Each structure stands twice: as structure tokens, then as C-alpha cells.
Structure 1
Amino acid sequence: MSLWWSKESPRDVEQRAAEAGEASAEAAVALEKANADAEPGKPKKQVTPDLTAAAFFDVDNTMMMGSSLFHLARGLASRKYFTTADLAGFAWQQLKFRISGKEGDLNSPREQALSFVAGRSVAELNAIGEEIYDELMADKIWSGTRALAQLHLDAGQRVWLVTATPVEIANLIARKLGLTGALGTVAEQKDGVYTGRLVGDLLHGRAKAHAVRALAAKEGLNLKRCTAYSDSVNDVPMLSVVGTAVAINPDTGLRDIARERQWEIRDWRTGRKAAKIGVPSVLGIGALAGVLAAGMAYRKR
């Protein structure tokens, strides 16, 4: 399959990545406000806010086992959004993902999945997404990673998911986990209906780094005080823009880079001890408690 961006110059690709990042940051801020407006009376744990530090978590194989987009595709297929043949393609990609731990390149059904919502309303996807999360995603959350996210929240920091999954679904996952919000791929809308086109590009690779920078500018974050987590070598650009980078369930490429750059490594996939280099400095004295909490959560799982 030939991809439309394959004929573009590196400058055009970078421009689309920047556009995707900016659009994702704008959507994330708007959705965070919408979440707050929808639950004005919801009690929140009283913590002293740390307004200039935040944490950014990749989703697939970092916060969630497997691909969030594949789980979404399964749910949509069961609701006749597309054929079983389409789902079989997703299954093959998921199998390769689970074996290698890599998201792979963009020559995959990932970009096709975003076209399946063309002509559907945003409200419809949100409602179906709620059902699909409860059915197929809720039990796929890595408890160790969730414990790390909670540690940042308890320190008064905001926590954002960063994923190529549509931003509405990413925001739903964040809301279900009690996180601040999410940066995700922005699908173009017209009058509340998806057109099937993207704003910029998929939020993948360098686009994630652009999104994190754009959100930091909007929210007044000091990126040197921020932490990012991912499993994939594709996310090295995002991991490189923050002060502290942590590799979670890393693929071979990311593991090598993490060791070279002395980034912390955590692996929930087996009982073996993963290499652990340092601790997230942004957490200060709370880091040890986080390590213990993550370890306890993993053992319970």
C-alpha cells in the first residue's frame, strides 16, 4: 500500500507532525475543561499542586497491554462498523505487536482505523467508547504503570496520556484512570461528525514530541521538571524533550538507548528484574514509595 506521506519531503513530514502536535494539545486542553465541567461536584484528593511539572505516558504496551486501537477495533467490529476481514488485519498487526513489543511503522491498519469513523458523530464514538473500554480495555491496564501515574498525581502533578489513538478515546481512557487528560490523534470534524481526515498527521513519533512541547507552552510546564514513559523506540523524540525519561516494557531499540543514556528501565512483562538506572528525580523523596507501590501492584496482578 502506498502512503500519501511517502512522497513528501522531510520538511513536509515535519510540518504535518507539528500540526498534529499543536492540534492534539488544543484538543487536550479543551477536553480537560469539558471533563471538569461535566463533574463539577466530584470530590478530589487534596494535594498541593505542582504547576510546572507533569508526567506523560504512552498507552500501547506502556499503560495498557497491547494496542488500544486494536481493542477499539474489536469493539467496533462487534458493532458492525467494519468486516471481520478488516479485523483479521488488525489481529495480525496485534500479534506482531505482542510478540515484538513494537508498534511497528505506520504502514499498518492503524491509519486505516481512523477512517472507519468517517460519517459517524463524535457523540456516538464517545458513547460506544465507554462501552468498549469497560468490555475490552479495563482489565488490560498495567497495574505497575498505573501506580507510577498515581504517584505523580499524589505529588500534585498533572498526568497526560500520549497516543496515536483518536484523542476522544485517549481522553476517555485517561478519565477512566483518573488522570488529567490525553494527547491523541485529532480526526477532523464538521458539525460534530467525523470527515475521515486527520488534522496534520497521526500522533506518532516526532508528532508526540511536538504535542508535548505545545501542551507545555499552553499549560506553563517546565519540561526539565517533567517525566515521560514509553515502551517504544519510536517515542525517543518525546522521551528526549523532558528532564526524566523512563522505559516501560521497552522494545530492543529503546532498551539499548535507555542503557546508553542511563534512563530508568522497568519491565512488567516477566518476573525477572529489569535494569533500573536511577529514579524519576522529579518525584524527589516520594520515588521510593512509588517503587514499592508499583512492585506491590505488579505482584498482586
Structure 2
Amino acid sequence: MAGEASAEAARKSTQEVSEREPEFPVPGDERAAAFFDLDNTVMQGAALFHFGRGLYKRKFFDTRELARFAWQQAWFRLAGVEDPEHMQEARDSALSIVQGHRVSELQSIGEEIYDEYMAERIWPGTRALAQAHLDAGQRVWLVTAAPVEIATVIARRLGLTGALGTVAESVDGVYTGKLVGEPLHGPAKAEAVRALALAEGLDLRRCAAYSDSHNDIPMLSLVGHPYAINPDSKLRKHARRMDWRLRDYRTGRKAAKVGIPAAAGVGAVAGGTAAAIALHRKRR
């Protein structure tokens, strides 16, 4: 009798929890999608640094440049926040390094660098979150200040829909050393997500966004389901104040591991509002 009573109490408790927290992500909701920041949210450290390591190995630049990349990465790992000055230096260095190289060459090298330096640095917990959205039939995009070529490789390898990233200018397939517009950072991410949602017919109130940085509060505030992942101190405080969900995979907590196909259909690849809108027009 006591066992039956306990079982019934447990059943009711589970039912009450499920009633308080509806299933999410909602299966089959075609107007819902998920947007993931990359650095320190999906991947440990900065993708641009890992890419720089791979280019150094291929003699694209010298030891002094590598030391600069290493210092910026060390700051990012220890402080857990993005330093605008370091980010600008890293972008300037990367642009000067790739100037004069063919886009196709960097895309091919990016595939190799992912295997060498990035694959093992994907947070299993965040990967499981992205897979949950995919399993529910939702589209999933990376949204990052990293070069769109790097972001596209990572998105494809994780089986995601596509990526929004910073776009480097190229003429006749060769990098010029300049950017197209501004880096996809801070408010620019929110602007790009809003434009993509409009182009794809998404309802942002039913969408989710994930990030580690307070710089992405504008993007997180756009959606109905914001998540703070491995958050910096400012984002953690803001998330608690706003009652957003938090996940921290740096603390040694066991994170779910899932198997994800190495390749899947890659959808939109864009670098900001104009690119997202242009993509929609092209599809029409």
C-alpha cells in the first residue's frame, strides 16, 4: 500500500512539473528556430584563434603573430569575456593574413583546421541542445563575429542549418583585406537574426537563442526562449534578473553526449542584415 501511494505521489509530482514546464523545443513547430553564439557557447575558446593556429602551421604568418593570437586567446579563456580591443586586433590580423589568398583555398583549409583544432573543443552539452532543436524539426543557425567561412564549416560539421558570420570582402574569388560592412557583433547579431527571421517566416517569440556573453543580450532579448550558456558575470546577473535559463558546462557537471551526423543540408549563410535579406530574395 505504501509503495502504491509513493508511486502515485511521484506520478502526480511529475505531472505537475510537466504542466508547469511545457515540452521544449516543441516538435513540428516550423515557425520556431534556434540561434547559437559560437565562441565559448558552442566551442571552448575563440574560433578565430584556432583558425589562426592552423594558418600558422601552414606558414601563413610568423611566430610573432602567433604569440599575439595566443595572448588574446589566453585573455578570453581566463577572463571569460570578449575584450573589444583584442577582438579588433584579432580581426585586423586575420584580414591582413588572408589578403591575396583565394576564398576557395581558405574554405578548404578551414575543413582541415576544424578536424585538427576545433572538433574536440565543442561543448557536448551545447551540442546536445542544438541537436534537440534539430530532432524537433527546427532550424538551427550559428550567429558569430567569426568569419562566415569558419562558421559555415562548423555549422555543417555539426549538422546545423547554416551560419551568420562576419563577411570578408573578396573580388574575383580573392580576399581584399577588407570587411563587407561591420563585424557581426553585439547589436549587429540581433539585427541579423531579426532580418533572417523575417526572411524565413519565423516567429521570434517561439525561437530560442544561446550565448555566453553580455554583448549578446540584444540577441537574447529578441526571442521567447533565451539561454545563458557558460555566462560571463554580467550576463549571469542579467539572466537571473530576467529569469532566463542558465546552463554552465565549465563546472564539471555531466553534459549529455549525442551523436550528430557529420554533414547535413546547409541553409542560409549570411553576414548580416543585408545578406539575410538578399538570401531570401534569391530563394524567391
Contact 1:231/1:251 (8 A) holds in 2: yes
Using the alignment, how far apart are the partners of 1:114 and 1:177 within structure 2?
26
Contact 1:114/1:166 (8 A) holds in 2: no
Match of 2:23 in 1: none
Amino acid at match of 1:232: S
Using the alignment, how far apart are the partners of 2:244 and 2:225 within structure 1?
8
Q: In the alignment, is residue 72 of structure 1 matched against residue 72 of structure 2?
A: no
CA deviations over 1:57-100 (Å, ceiling 9, x no partner): 00100000111000000001111111111111111111111111
SS in structure 1 at match of 2:252: coil
Structure 1 length-normalised TM: 0.74
Q: In the alignment, is residue 195 of structure 1 matched against residue 155 of structure 2?
A: no
Q: In the alignment, is residue 95 of structure 1 matched against residue 74 of structure 2?
A: yes
How far the C-alpha of 1:142 sits from its partner, in A, is 0.2
Q: In the alignment, is residue 119 of structure 1 matched against residue 100 of structure 2?
A: yes
Structure 2 length-normalised TM: 0.78
Q: How many residues align?
A: 230
Structure 2 CA distance for partners of 1:115 and 1:222, relative to 1, 3 Å: farther
Give the fraction of aligned pairs with identical amino acids, expressed as a percent.
Answer: 65
Contact 1:72/1:129 (8 A) holds in 2: yes
Q: Write the mapping of 1:167-186 to structure 2, written as runs, cut at 5 A.
A: 167-186=148-167
- Of stretches 215-224 and 144-153 in structure 1, the one that deviates more from structure 2 is 215-224
SS in structure 2 at match of 1:195: strand
Structure 2 CA distance for partners of 1:295 and 1:136, relative to 1, 3 Å: closer
Using the alignment, how far apart are the partners of 1:248 and 1:53 within structure 2?
20
Match of 2:226 in 1: 245
Match of 2:238 in 1: 257
Alignment partner for residue 110 of structure 1, among 90, 103, 117?
A: 90
Contact 1:130/1:172 (8 A) holds in 2: yes
Amino acid at match of 2:59: K
Structure 2, gaps ≥5 residues long: 1-26, 259-284
CA deviations over 1:104-144 (Å, ceiling 9, x no partner): 21444222123321111110011000000000000000000
Using the alignment, how far apart are the partners of 2:85 and 2:181 within structure 1?
15
How far the C-alpha of 1:189 sits from its partner, in A, is 1.3
Amino acid at match of 1:296: A
- Of stretches 114-123 and 132-141 in structure 1, the one that deviates more from structure 2 is 114-123
Alignment partner for residue 86 of structure 1, among 65, 80, 87?
A: 65
